[in-house]
A = this chain, B = another copy of it.
Protein backbone atom coordinates (compact mmCIF):
# COMPACT_ATOMS: atom_id res chain seq x y z
CA UNK A 1 0.00 0.00 0.00
CA UNK A 2 1.19 3.44 -0.91
CA UNK A 3 0.57 4.78 2.58
CA UNK A 4 3.41 2.57 3.78
CA UNK A 5 5.59 5.22 2.14
CA UNK A 6 4.52 7.63 4.82
CA UNK A 7 6.65 7.12 7.86
CA UNK A 8 8.22 9.36 10.43
CA UNK A 9 11.85 9.70 11.38
CA UNK A 10 12.18 10.61 15.06
CA UNK A 11 15.74 11.89 14.38
CA UNK A 12 14.60 14.29 11.69
CA UNK A 13 14.96 18.02 12.27
CA UNK A 14 11.60 18.42 10.56
CA UNK A 15 8.31 18.67 12.40
CA UNK A 16 5.92 15.73 12.16
CA UNK A 17 3.66 17.80 9.95
CA UNK A 18 6.52 18.69 7.61
CA UNK A 19 7.62 15.07 7.42
CA UNK A 20 4.12 13.92 6.49
CA UNK A 21 3.93 16.55 3.78
CA UNK A 22 7.36 15.61 2.50
CA UNK A 23 6.49 11.93 2.23
CA UNK A 24 3.23 12.59 0.44
CA UNK A 25 4.96 14.88 -2.05
CA UNK A 26 7.59 12.23 -2.66
CA UNK A 27 4.84 9.72 -3.26
CA UNK A 28 3.08 12.02 -5.74
CA UNK A 29 6.23 12.82 -7.66
CA UNK A 30 7.50 9.27 -7.56
CA UNK A 31 4.18 7.98 -8.85
CA UNK A 32 3.16 6.02 -5.77
CA UNK A 33 0.18 8.37 -5.39
CA UNK A 34 -0.90 8.87 -9.01
CA UNK A 35 -2.69 12.02 -10.14
CA UNK A 36 -6.36 11.68 -9.26
CA UNK A 37 -5.81 8.99 -6.65
CA UNK A 38 -7.21 9.26 -3.17
CA UNK A 39 -4.82 9.94 -0.30
CA UNK A 40 -5.10 7.92 2.92
CA UNK A 41 -7.73 9.40 5.22
CA UNK A 42 -6.56 11.61 8.04
CA UNK A 43 -8.03 9.19 10.57
CA UNK A 44 -6.26 6.19 9.12
CA UNK A 45 -2.94 7.94 8.66
CA UNK A 46 -2.92 9.44 12.13
CA UNK A 47 -3.52 5.98 13.58
CA UNK A 48 -0.85 4.43 11.40
CA UNK A 49 1.74 7.02 12.40
CA UNK A 50 0.65 7.40 15.99
CA UNK A 51 0.28 11.16 15.74
CA UNK A 52 -2.56 13.54 16.53
CA UNK A 53 -5.14 13.59 13.77
CA UNK A 54 -4.80 17.35 13.61
CA UNK A 55 -1.16 17.01 12.59
CA UNK A 56 -2.25 15.06 9.52
CA UNK A 57 -5.09 17.50 8.85
CA UNK A 58 -2.66 20.42 8.90
CA UNK A 59 -0.21 18.64 6.59
CA UNK A 60 -3.03 17.90 4.14
CA UNK A 61 -4.24 21.48 4.29
CA UNK A 62 -0.80 22.63 3.34
CA UNK A 63 -0.73 20.20 0.41
CA UNK A 64 -4.08 21.51 -0.74
CA UNK A 65 -2.90 25.10 -0.41
CA UNK A 66 0.14 24.30 -2.52
CA UNK A 67 -1.88 22.66 -5.24
CA UNK A 68 -0.73 19.09 -4.68
CA UNK A 69 -4.07 17.81 -3.46
CA UNK A 70 -7.73 18.80 -3.51
CA UNK A 71 -10.81 17.90 -1.51
CA UNK A 72 -13.77 16.33 -3.19
CA UNK A 73 -17.09 16.68 -1.48
CA UNK A 74 -17.57 14.09 1.21
CA UNK A 75 -15.26 11.64 -0.49
CA UNK A 76 -11.87 12.68 0.82
CA UNK A 77 -8.65 14.22 -0.37
CA UNK A 78 -7.24 13.45 -3.80
CA UNK A 79 -4.03 14.08 -5.69
CA UNK A 80 -4.71 16.89 -8.14
CA UNK A 81 -5.05 15.89 -11.75
CA UNK A 82 -2.62 18.23 -13.43
CA UNK A 83 -0.03 18.45 -10.71
CA UNK A 84 2.73 16.98 -12.88
CA UNK A 85 1.98 19.18 -15.86
CA UNK A 86 5.09 20.75 -17.32
CA UNK A 87 7.30 17.79 -16.54
CA UNK A 88 8.96 15.80 -19.25
CA UNK A 89 8.59 12.71 -17.18
CA UNK A 90 11.34 10.22 -16.86
CA UNK A 91 12.12 8.80 -20.27
CA UNK A 92 13.31 5.62 -18.68
CA UNK A 93 16.37 5.88 -20.87
CA UNK A 94 19.49 4.43 -19.38
CA UNK A 95 22.22 6.81 -18.31
CA UNK A 96 24.84 7.38 -20.98
CA UNK A 97 27.19 4.44 -21.38
CA UNK A 98 29.97 4.84 -18.85
CA UNK A 99 32.60 3.28 -21.12
CA UNK A 100 32.49 6.41 -23.22
CA UNK A 101 33.68 8.36 -20.27
CA UNK A 102 37.27 8.00 -21.34
CA UNK A 103 36.56 10.20 -24.35
CA UNK A 104 36.44 13.19 -22.05
CA UNK A 105 39.85 12.57 -20.68
CA UNK A 106 41.76 13.79 -23.70
CA UNK A 107 39.38 16.68 -24.21
CA UNK A 108 39.93 18.32 -20.85
CA UNK A 109 42.30 21.20 -21.46
CA UNK A 110 43.59 21.88 -18.01
CA UNK A 111 44.28 19.46 -15.23
CA UNK A 112 44.08 20.63 -11.69
CA UNK A 113 46.81 19.13 -9.58
CA UNK A 114 45.30 17.32 -6.70
CA UNK A 115 46.13 19.30 -3.60
CA UNK A 116 48.62 17.25 -1.65
CA UNK A 117 46.64 16.39 1.23
CA UNK A 118 45.96 15.60 4.71
CA UNK A 119 42.45 14.30 4.87
CA UNK A 120 40.70 14.47 8.18
CA UNK A 121 38.67 11.30 8.75
CA UNK A 122 34.99 11.89 8.14
CA UNK A 123 34.19 10.66 11.61
CA UNK A 124 36.73 12.91 13.30
CA UNK A 125 34.26 13.87 15.96
CA UNK A 126 34.13 10.29 17.15
CA UNK A 127 37.82 10.49 18.04
CA UNK A 128 38.31 11.49 21.67
CA UNK A 129 41.34 13.69 20.88
CA UNK A 130 40.97 15.46 17.56
CA UNK A 131 43.79 18.02 17.61
CA UNK A 132 42.63 19.31 14.24
CA UNK A 133 43.13 22.96 13.45
CA UNK A 134 40.27 24.41 11.46
CA UNK A 135 37.67 21.90 12.58
CA UNK A 136 35.36 23.14 15.25
CA UNK A 137 33.58 21.51 18.10
CA UNK A 138 29.93 22.42 18.41
CA UNK A 139 30.29 24.56 21.48
CA UNK A 140 32.04 27.29 19.50
CA UNK A 141 29.23 28.12 17.07
CA UNK A 142 27.06 31.11 18.03
CA UNK A 143 24.07 29.29 16.61
CA UNK A 144 21.29 31.40 18.07
CA UNK A 145 22.93 34.61 16.93
CA UNK A 146 23.36 33.35 13.37
CA UNK A 147 19.78 32.28 13.29
CA UNK A 148 18.71 35.72 14.34
CA UNK A 149 20.83 37.40 11.67
CA UNK A 150 19.67 34.90 9.03
CA UNK A 151 16.05 35.35 9.95
CA UNK A 152 16.32 39.12 9.74
CA UNK A 153 18.18 38.92 6.44
CA UNK A 154 15.49 36.68 5.02
CA UNK A 155 13.08 39.45 5.87
CA UNK A 156 15.07 41.96 3.87
CA UNK A 157 13.72 42.40 0.38
CA UNK A 158 16.64 43.38 -1.77
CA UNK A 159 14.34 43.62 -4.71
CA UNK A 160 12.77 46.59 -3.00
CA UNK A 161 16.04 48.20 -2.22
CA UNK A 162 17.12 50.65 -4.86
CA UNK A 163 20.66 50.69 -3.58
CA UNK A 164 21.63 47.27 -4.87
CA UNK A 165 20.81 45.57 -8.05
CA UNK A 166 21.77 42.91 -10.52
CA UNK A 167 25.05 44.58 -11.19
CA UNK A 168 28.25 43.80 -9.33
CA UNK A 169 27.85 46.11 -6.36
CA UNK A 170 28.11 44.48 -2.98
CA UNK A 171 25.69 45.03 -0.15
CA UNK A 172 26.62 48.53 1.04
CA UNK A 173 25.59 47.59 4.57
CA UNK A 174 28.15 44.78 4.70
CA UNK A 175 30.90 46.88 3.14
CA UNK A 176 30.21 49.55 5.75
CA UNK A 177 30.24 47.08 8.64
CA UNK A 178 33.54 45.58 7.48
CA UNK A 179 34.97 49.04 6.96
CA UNK A 180 33.94 50.38 10.34
CA UNK A 181 33.88 47.30 12.59
CA UNK A 182 36.25 44.63 11.29
CA UNK A 183 39.04 46.56 9.59
CA UNK A 184 39.72 49.07 12.40
CA UNK A 185 40.39 46.11 14.68
CA UNK A 186 43.26 45.30 12.32
CA UNK A 187 44.45 48.87 12.07
CA UNK A 188 43.21 49.25 8.51
CA UNK A 189 41.47 52.31 7.12
CA UNK A 190 39.75 51.69 3.80
CA UNK A 191 37.22 53.40 1.59
CA UNK A 192 34.35 51.41 0.07
CA UNK A 193 36.01 51.26 -3.36
CA UNK A 194 38.94 49.45 -1.78
CA UNK A 195 36.78 46.53 -0.60
CA UNK A 196 35.46 43.56 -2.56
CA UNK A 197 33.31 40.83 -1.03
CA UNK A 198 34.23 37.34 -2.22
CA UNK A 199 32.71 33.89 -1.94
CA UNK A 200 35.05 33.00 0.91
CA UNK A 201 38.78 33.49 1.45
CA UNK A 202 39.76 30.80 -1.06
CA UNK A 203 37.80 32.64 -3.74
CA UNK A 204 39.65 35.86 -2.82
CA UNK A 205 43.01 34.13 -3.16
CA UNK A 206 41.92 32.62 -6.47
CA UNK A 207 40.99 36.00 -7.90
CA UNK A 208 44.28 37.54 -6.76
CA UNK A 209 46.35 34.63 -8.06
CA UNK A 210 44.68 34.90 -11.47
CA UNK A 211 45.19 38.66 -11.56
CA UNK A 212 48.74 38.87 -10.29
CA UNK A 213 50.49 35.64 -11.22
CA UNK A 214 51.20 34.05 -14.57
CA UNK A 215 54.06 32.25 -16.27
CA UNK A 216 56.05 35.49 -16.47
CA UNK A 217 55.85 36.15 -12.74
CA UNK A 218 57.99 35.07 -9.80
CA UNK A 219 55.98 34.64 -6.61
CA UNK A 220 57.34 33.95 -3.15
CA UNK A 221 55.40 32.14 -0.49
CA UNK A 222 56.17 30.85 2.94
CA UNK A 223 57.81 27.45 3.43
CA UNK A 224 56.06 25.72 5.13
CA UNK A 225 52.93 27.42 3.87
CA UNK A 226 49.28 27.16 2.88
CA UNK A 227 48.94 24.25 0.42
CA UNK A 228 45.80 25.64 -1.21
CA UNK A 229 47.60 28.88 -1.99
CA UNK A 230 50.57 26.93 -3.35
CA UNK A 231 48.22 24.96 -5.59
CA UNK A 232 46.76 28.21 -6.95
CA UNK A 233 50.18 29.67 -7.63
CA UNK A 234 51.43 26.50 -9.32
CA UNK A 235 48.33 26.40 -11.50
CA UNK A 236 49.01 30.00 -12.54
CA UNK A 237 52.32 28.88 -14.02
CA UNK A 238 54.31 31.35 -11.91
CA UNK A 239 57.83 30.54 -10.82
CA UNK A 240 57.74 29.88 -7.08
CA UNK A 241 60.21 30.85 -4.39
CA UNK A 242 59.72 28.77 -1.26
CA UNK A 243 60.93 31.12 1.40
CA UNK A 244 61.71 29.89 4.91
CA UNK A 245 60.04 31.02 8.11
CA UNK A 246 61.80 31.64 11.40
CA UNK A 247 60.66 32.91 14.78
CA UNK A 248 60.12 36.40 13.29
CA UNK A 249 58.08 35.25 10.30
CA UNK A 250 59.07 34.90 6.65
CA UNK A 251 62.81 35.46 6.17
CA UNK A 252 63.44 38.77 4.40
CA UNK A 253 66.65 38.49 2.38
CA UNK A 254 68.10 38.84 -1.10
CA UNK A 255 66.37 35.66 -2.24
CA UNK A 256 62.95 37.07 -1.33
CA UNK A 257 63.87 40.25 -3.19
CA UNK A 258 63.79 38.27 -6.47
CA UNK A 259 60.02 37.89 -6.27
CA UNK A 260 57.55 40.25 -7.85
CA UNK A 261 54.74 39.12 -5.56
CA UNK A 262 55.18 37.98 -1.95
CA UNK A 263 52.41 36.00 -0.20
CA UNK A 264 52.46 36.09 3.58
CA UNK A 265 50.34 35.22 6.63
CA UNK A 266 51.73 37.66 9.16
CA UNK A 267 49.16 37.46 11.97
CA UNK A 268 49.63 33.74 12.50
CA UNK A 269 51.72 32.02 9.91
CA UNK A 270 50.14 28.97 8.36
CA UNK A 271 51.00 26.36 9.61
CA UNK A 272 53.52 27.37 12.28
CA UNK A 273 51.32 30.05 13.94
CA UNK A 274 54.38 32.31 14.23
CA UNK A 275 53.48 36.00 14.39
CA UNK A 276 55.61 38.18 12.17
CA UNK A 277 57.38 40.67 14.40
CA UNK A 278 57.35 44.40 13.90
CA UNK A 279 60.90 44.66 12.61
CA UNK A 280 60.24 41.99 10.02
CA UNK A 281 57.06 43.70 8.91
CA UNK A 282 58.92 46.91 8.42
CA UNK A 283 61.72 45.16 6.57
CA UNK A 284 59.24 43.45 4.28
CA UNK A 285 57.46 46.68 3.43
CA UNK A 286 60.76 48.49 2.89
CA UNK A 287 61.95 45.78 0.52
CA UNK A 288 58.63 45.84 -1.34
CA UNK A 289 59.02 49.59 -1.85
CA UNK A 290 62.63 49.28 -2.93
CA UNK A 291 62.06 46.37 -5.32
CA UNK A 292 58.59 47.40 -6.47
CA UNK A 293 57.00 44.23 -5.10
CA UNK A 294 53.37 43.47 -4.35
CA UNK A 295 52.31 41.72 -1.17
CA UNK A 296 49.32 39.43 -0.69
CA UNK A 297 48.54 39.34 3.01
CA UNK A 298 46.23 36.63 4.24
CA UNK A 299 45.13 37.38 7.76
CA UNK A 300 44.47 34.25 9.80
CA UNK A 301 43.15 33.93 13.32
CA UNK A 302 43.77 37.58 13.46
CA UNK A 303 42.92 38.38 16.98
CA UNK A 304 43.93 35.40 19.00
CA UNK A 305 47.17 36.62 20.46
CA UNK A 306 47.30 35.67 24.10
CA UNK A 307 50.83 36.84 24.81
CA UNK A 308 51.30 40.49 24.07
CA UNK A 309 48.97 42.57 21.98
CA UNK A 310 48.16 42.03 18.33
CA UNK A 311 50.07 43.78 15.57
CA UNK A 312 48.24 45.83 13.01
CA UNK A 313 47.97 44.16 9.64
CA UNK A 314 50.60 44.87 6.99
CA UNK A 315 47.88 46.62 5.02
CA UNK A 316 47.50 48.98 7.98
CA UNK A 317 51.21 49.82 7.87
CA UNK A 318 51.36 50.06 4.08
CA UNK A 319 51.95 53.63 2.90
CA UNK A 320 52.48 52.70 -0.73
CA UNK A 321 49.38 50.69 -1.55
CA UNK A 322 51.42 47.56 -2.17
CA UNK A 323 49.45 45.20 0.01
CA UNK A 324 46.33 43.30 -1.04
CA UNK A 325 44.71 42.14 2.18
CA UNK A 326 42.57 38.99 2.30
CA UNK A 327 40.44 37.96 5.23
CA UNK A 328 36.96 36.71 5.93
CA UNK A 329 34.35 35.76 8.41
CA UNK A 330 35.90 33.17 10.70
CA UNK A 331 34.49 29.79 9.79
CA UNK A 332 33.90 29.08 13.41
CA UNK A 333 31.29 31.82 13.42
CA UNK A 334 29.27 30.30 10.63
CA UNK A 335 29.88 27.05 8.85
CA UNK A 336 27.30 27.99 6.24
CA UNK A 337 28.37 31.46 5.28
CA UNK A 338 31.03 31.88 2.64
CA UNK A 339 32.05 35.47 2.95
CA UNK A 340 35.59 36.67 2.43
CA UNK A 341 36.93 40.02 1.33
CA UNK A 342 39.84 41.74 -0.32
CA UNK A 343 41.07 45.18 0.71
CA UNK A 344 43.39 46.66 -1.90
CA UNK A 345 44.00 49.53 -4.29
CA UNK A 346 40.84 50.60 -6.17
CA UNK A 347 42.43 49.65 -9.49
CA UNK A 348 42.97 46.09 -8.34
CA UNK A 349 39.51 45.91 -6.77
CA UNK A 350 37.96 46.97 -10.06
CA UNK A 351 39.73 44.19 -11.95
CA UNK A 352 38.93 41.64 -9.25
CA UNK A 353 35.27 42.63 -9.42
CA UNK A 354 35.19 42.02 -13.18
CA UNK A 355 36.89 38.68 -12.76
CA UNK A 356 34.51 37.75 -9.93
CA UNK A 357 31.64 38.50 -12.30
CA UNK A 358 32.90 35.78 -14.64
CA UNK A 359 33.98 33.25 -12.06
CA UNK A 360 31.09 33.11 -9.66
CA UNK A 361 29.16 36.36 -9.75
CA UNK A 362 28.45 38.52 -6.77
CA UNK A 363 28.12 36.58 -3.52
CA UNK A 364 24.45 36.31 -2.62
CA UNK A 365 23.06 39.52 -1.20
CA UNK A 366 21.14 37.48 1.33
CA UNK A 367 24.40 36.05 2.68
CA UNK A 368 25.98 39.48 2.60
CA UNK A 369 23.11 40.97 4.54
CA UNK A 370 23.21 38.13 7.08
CA UNK A 371 26.86 38.91 7.73
CA UNK A 372 26.13 42.63 7.91
CA UNK A 373 23.42 42.07 10.49
CA UNK A 374 25.62 39.73 12.51
CA UNK A 375 28.14 42.55 12.68
CA UNK A 376 25.73 45.39 13.26
CA UNK A 377 23.88 43.57 16.03
CA UNK A 378 27.16 43.23 17.89
CA UNK A 379 27.18 39.44 17.60
CA UNK A 380 30.53 39.48 15.87
CA UNK A 381 32.23 41.38 18.66
CA UNK A 382 30.55 39.26 21.31
CA UNK A 383 31.46 36.02 19.56
CA UNK A 384 35.06 37.07 19.01
CA UNK A 385 35.41 38.07 22.66
CA UNK A 386 34.02 34.69 23.70
CA UNK A 387 36.27 32.80 21.29
CA UNK A 388 39.25 34.76 22.53
CA UNK A 389 38.56 33.53 26.05
CA UNK A 390 37.68 29.94 25.20
CA UNK A 391 40.46 29.39 22.68
CA UNK A 392 42.96 31.21 24.88
CA UNK A 393 42.29 28.73 27.67
CA UNK A 394 42.61 25.79 25.33
CA UNK A 395 45.82 27.13 23.85
CA UNK A 396 47.26 27.58 27.30
CA UNK A 397 46.22 24.06 28.27
CA UNK A 398 47.97 22.71 25.19
CA UNK A 399 51.14 24.62 25.97
CA UNK A 400 51.18 23.43 29.55
CA UNK A 401 50.52 19.84 28.57
CA UNK A 402 53.29 19.86 25.97
CA UNK A 403 55.71 21.37 28.43
CA UNK A 404 54.80 18.76 31.00
CA UNK A 405 54.76 15.65 28.84
CA UNK A 406 56.86 16.34 25.77
CA UNK A 407 60.43 16.44 26.82
CA UNK A 408 62.23 15.06 23.78
CA UNK A 409 62.07 18.19 21.65
CA UNK A 410 61.52 21.88 21.90
CA UNK A 411 59.21 24.20 20.05
CA UNK A 412 61.58 25.95 17.66
CA UNK A 413 59.12 28.52 16.38
CA UNK A 414 57.57 30.17 19.42
CA UNK A 415 54.09 31.58 19.01
CA UNK A 416 52.18 34.24 20.83
CA UNK A 417 48.75 32.91 20.11
CA UNK A 418 46.60 31.44 17.44
CA UNK A 419 44.81 28.18 17.67
CA UNK A 420 47.55 25.66 16.98
CA UNK A 421 51.13 24.74 17.74
CA UNK A 422 53.77 23.43 15.35
CA UNK A 423 55.66 20.62 17.06
CA UNK A 424 58.62 18.61 15.90
CA UNK A 425 58.56 14.88 16.53
CA UNK A 426 61.78 13.22 17.68
CA UNK A 427 64.04 12.41 14.74
CA UNK A 428 63.61 8.68 15.23
CA UNK A 429 59.77 8.81 15.11
CA UNK A 430 58.62 9.54 11.54
CA UNK A 431 55.67 11.84 11.84
CA UNK A 432 53.49 9.97 9.33
CA UNK A 433 53.93 6.82 11.37
CA UNK A 434 53.15 8.76 14.51
CA UNK A 435 49.98 10.24 13.01
CA UNK A 436 48.77 6.83 11.81
CA UNK A 437 49.41 5.15 15.13
CA UNK A 438 47.86 8.09 17.01
CA UNK A 439 44.69 7.98 14.89
CA UNK A 440 44.25 4.33 15.86
CA UNK A 441 44.21 5.47 19.48
CA UNK A 442 41.71 8.23 18.81
CA UNK A 443 44.29 11.03 18.64
CA UNK A 444 44.23 13.05 15.43
CA UNK A 445 47.27 15.15 14.55
CA UNK A 446 48.20 16.72 11.22
CA UNK A 447 51.58 15.74 9.79
CA UNK A 448 53.58 18.40 7.98
CA UNK A 449 54.45 17.11 4.48
CA UNK A 450 51.70 18.91 2.52
CA UNK A 451 52.79 22.27 3.90
CA UNK A 452 56.13 22.06 2.08
CA UNK A 453 56.51 22.96 -1.56
CA UNK A 454 60.00 21.65 -2.04
CA UNK A 455 60.80 18.11 -2.97
CA UNK A 456 62.21 17.04 0.33
CA UNK A 457 58.77 17.00 1.96
CA UNK A 458 58.32 16.37 5.65
CA UNK A 459 60.60 17.94 8.26
CA UNK A 460 58.98 15.70 10.85
CA UNK A 461 56.73 18.38 12.28
CA UNK A 462 53.09 18.09 13.11
CA UNK A 463 50.37 20.56 13.91
CA UNK A 464 48.27 20.42 17.04
CA UNK A 465 45.10 22.50 16.96
CA UNK A 466 42.69 23.41 19.72
CA UNK A 467 39.60 24.46 17.78
CA UNK A 468 38.17 20.98 17.73
CA UNK A 469 38.27 19.68 21.26
CA UNK A 470 37.34 21.05 24.66
CA UNK A 471 39.87 22.27 27.17
CA UNK A 472 39.42 19.33 29.53
CA UNK A 473 40.50 16.78 26.93
CA UNK A 474 43.71 18.48 25.98
CA UNK A 475 45.94 17.31 28.79
CA UNK A 476 44.94 13.69 28.49
CA UNK A 477 45.33 13.78 24.71
CA UNK A 478 48.87 15.11 24.98
CA UNK A 479 49.67 12.57 27.68
CA UNK A 480 48.52 9.70 25.49
CA UNK A 481 50.35 11.10 22.49
CA UNK A 482 53.53 11.28 24.53
CA UNK A 483 53.08 7.68 25.65
CA UNK A 484 52.79 6.69 22.02
CA UNK A 485 55.91 8.66 21.11
CA UNK A 486 57.76 6.79 23.81
CA UNK A 487 56.52 3.43 22.54
CA UNK A 488 57.52 4.29 19.01
CA UNK A 489 60.89 5.60 20.13
CA UNK A 490 61.98 2.12 21.12
CA UNK A 491 65.69 1.95 21.89
CA UNK A 492 66.29 5.54 20.80
CA UNK A 493 65.48 7.01 24.18
CA UNK A 494 68.42 6.85 26.50
CA UNK A 495 68.02 4.36 29.25
CA UNK A 496 70.11 3.77 32.27
CA UNK A 497 72.82 1.30 31.68
CA UNK A 498 71.54 -1.62 33.76
CA UNK A 499 75.15 -2.77 34.33
CA UNK A 500 76.31 0.56 35.68
CA UNK A 501 73.41 2.88 36.29
CA UNK A 502 75.47 5.35 38.31
CA UNK A 503 72.41 6.44 40.28
CA UNK A 504 72.80 8.76 43.23
CA UNK A 505 71.49 7.22 46.42
CA UNK A 506 69.37 9.09 48.92
CA UNK A 507 72.31 10.07 51.01
CA UNK A 508 74.17 11.64 48.07
CA UNK A 509 71.05 13.40 46.89
CA UNK A 510 70.45 14.88 50.31
CA UNK A 511 74.05 16.05 50.43
CA UNK A 512 74.31 17.51 46.91
CA UNK A 513 71.00 19.10 46.14
CA UNK A 514 70.35 21.70 48.87
CA UNK A 515 71.15 25.10 47.42
CA UNK A 516 71.52 23.74 43.87
CA UNK A 517 70.34 25.89 40.96
CA UNK A 518 69.03 24.05 37.90
CA UNK A 519 69.19 25.76 34.49
CA UNK A 520 66.68 24.53 32.10
CA UNK A 521 64.73 25.36 28.94
CA UNK A 522 61.03 24.99 28.64
CA UNK A 523 59.39 23.28 25.68
CA UNK A 524 59.10 26.76 24.21
CA UNK A 525 62.84 27.48 24.46
CA UNK A 526 62.25 29.89 27.30
CA UNK A 527 64.92 29.86 30.03
CA UNK A 528 63.80 28.38 33.31
CA UNK A 529 65.69 28.44 36.59
CA UNK A 530 64.87 26.32 39.62
CA UNK A 531 66.45 26.88 43.00
CA UNK A 532 66.34 24.03 45.48
CA UNK A 533 66.54 25.79 48.83
CA UNK A 534 68.08 23.89 51.70
CA UNK A 535 64.89 23.69 53.73
CA UNK A 536 62.94 21.75 51.08
CA UNK A 537 61.37 24.86 49.60
CA UNK A 538 61.98 25.50 45.90
CA UNK A 539 61.36 28.44 43.58
CA UNK A 540 61.08 28.47 39.82
CA UNK A 541 61.34 31.33 37.37
CA UNK A 542 60.58 30.93 33.70
CA UNK A 543 60.22 33.05 30.59
CA UNK A 544 62.32 35.71 28.92
CA UNK A 545 61.79 38.03 31.87
CA UNK A 546 60.72 35.58 34.54
CA UNK A 547 57.09 36.24 33.79
CA UNK A 548 56.08 32.76 34.93
CA UNK A 549 57.06 31.89 38.49
CA UNK A 550 56.07 29.14 40.87
CA UNK A 551 56.99 27.73 44.26
CA UNK A 552 57.07 24.19 45.53
CA UNK A 553 58.87 21.75 47.72
CA UNK A 554 61.41 19.03 47.16
CA UNK A 555 62.59 16.11 49.24
CA UNK A 556 64.46 12.85 49.06
CA UNK A 557 62.76 9.55 49.75
CA UNK A 558 63.71 5.93 48.93
CA UNK A 559 66.74 7.06 46.89
CA UNK A 560 64.44 9.18 44.77
CA UNK A 561 64.35 12.91 44.17
CA UNK A 562 60.79 14.03 44.74
CA UNK A 563 59.17 17.39 43.93
CA UNK A 564 55.83 19.06 43.89
CA UNK A 565 55.07 22.49 42.42
CA UNK A 566 52.16 24.72 43.30
CA UNK A 567 51.06 25.21 39.67
CA UNK A 568 53.71 23.86 37.37
CA UNK A 569 53.34 20.28 36.22
CA UNK A 570 49.74 20.48 37.33
CA UNK A 571 50.89 20.61 40.94
CA UNK A 572 51.55 16.90 40.81
CA UNK A 573 54.14 15.06 42.77
CA UNK A 574 57.06 13.70 40.72
CA UNK A 575 59.52 11.00 41.87
CA UNK A 576 62.69 10.37 39.92
CA UNK A 577 66.02 8.59 39.98
CA UNK A 578 68.92 10.95 39.40
CA UNK A 579 72.38 10.76 37.81
CA UNK A 580 74.99 13.52 37.74
CA UNK A 581 77.91 13.70 35.30
CA UNK A 582 80.01 16.79 35.07
CA UNK A 583 77.38 19.46 35.59
CA UNK A 584 74.56 17.68 33.81
CA UNK A 585 71.79 16.35 35.97
CA UNK A 586 69.46 13.74 34.53
CA UNK A 587 66.15 12.51 35.84
CA UNK A 588 65.10 8.94 35.15
CA UNK A 589 61.79 7.27 35.52
CA UNK A 590 62.08 4.47 38.04
CA UNK A 591 62.63 1.59 35.63
CA UNK A 592 65.36 3.36 33.73
CA UNK A 593 63.99 5.67 31.08
CA UNK A 594 65.27 9.22 30.72
CA UNK A 595 62.77 11.93 31.64
CA UNK A 596 64.83 15.08 31.25
CA UNK A 597 68.18 16.68 31.76
CA UNK A 598 69.48 20.09 32.74
CA UNK A 599 72.56 21.97 33.77
CA UNK A 600 73.04 22.23 37.49
CA UNK A 601 75.13 24.54 39.67
CA UNK A 602 75.66 22.88 42.99
CA UNK A 603 75.99 24.97 46.11
CA UNK A 604 79.63 25.76 46.89
CA UNK A 605 79.34 23.83 50.12
CA UNK A 606 77.69 20.75 48.57
CA UNK A 607 79.60 17.65 49.30
Contacts and interface: CB of A to CB of B under 8 A. Distances in A.
Interface stretch (A316-324, A476-484, A536-544, A573-581): A316-324
A464 interface: no
Contacts of A107: 212, 260, 294
Contact of A316 (B91, B360, B364): B91
Interface stretch (A47-55, A159-167, A418-426, A427-435): A159-167
A88 B187 contact: yes
A346 B97 contact: no
Given A87-B303, A112-B351, A96 B360 contact: no
A592 interface: no
Given A85-B388, A101-B321, A138-B157, 4 more contacts: A87-B185, A88-B310, A96-B318, A125-B159
A108 B122 CA distance: 40
A377 B311 contact: no
B310 A86 contact: yes
Contact of A381 (B25, B157, B162): B25
Contacts of A358: 112, 202, 206, 228, 231-232, 235
Interface stretch (A188-196, A249-257, A272-280): A188-196
A524 interface: no
Nearest to A323: B96
A102 interface: yes
A200 B210 CA distance: 20
A14 B152 contact: yes
Interface stretch (A113-121, A491-499, A560-568): A113-121
Nearest to A156: B13
A22 B377 contact: yes
A334 B158 CA distance: 11
Interface string A325-337: 0000000001111
A90 interface: yes
A382 B68 contact: yes
A231 to B, nearest CB: 6
Contacts of A388: 85-86
Given A154-B146, A305-B86, A388-B86, A104 B348 contact: yes
B364 A162 contact: no
Contacts of A114: 354
A359 B232 CA distance: 9
A360 B202 contact: yes
Interface stretch (A34-42, A213-221, A397-405, A451-459): A213-221
A217 B378 CA distance: 52
A346 B202 CA distance: 25
A432 to B, nearest CB: 19
A187 B100 contact: no
A157 B112 CA distance: 31
Nearest to A378: B25
12 contacts: A14-B377, A63-B378, A91-B187, A93-B187, A108-B212, A109-B210, A119-B167, A126-B162, A150-B154, A202-B358, A206-B360, A364-B367
Interface in A140-172: 141, 143, 146-148, 150-160, 162-167
Nearest to A168: B115
Contacts of A354: 112, 114
A388 B85 CA distance: 9
Contacts of A211: 108-110
Nearest to A18: B377
Contact of A357 (B112, B162, B165, B336): B112
A13 B372 CA distance: 13
A365 B345 contact: no
A216 B109 contact: yes
A24 B381 CA distance: 12
Contacts of A528: none
Contacts of A357: 112, 115, 228
Given A152-B13, A217-B109, A89 B165 contact: no
Q: Of residues A102, A119, A187, A206, which shows the largest number of chain B Cβ atoms within 10 Å of its Cβ?
A: A187
Nearest to A113: B354
Nearest to A362: B338
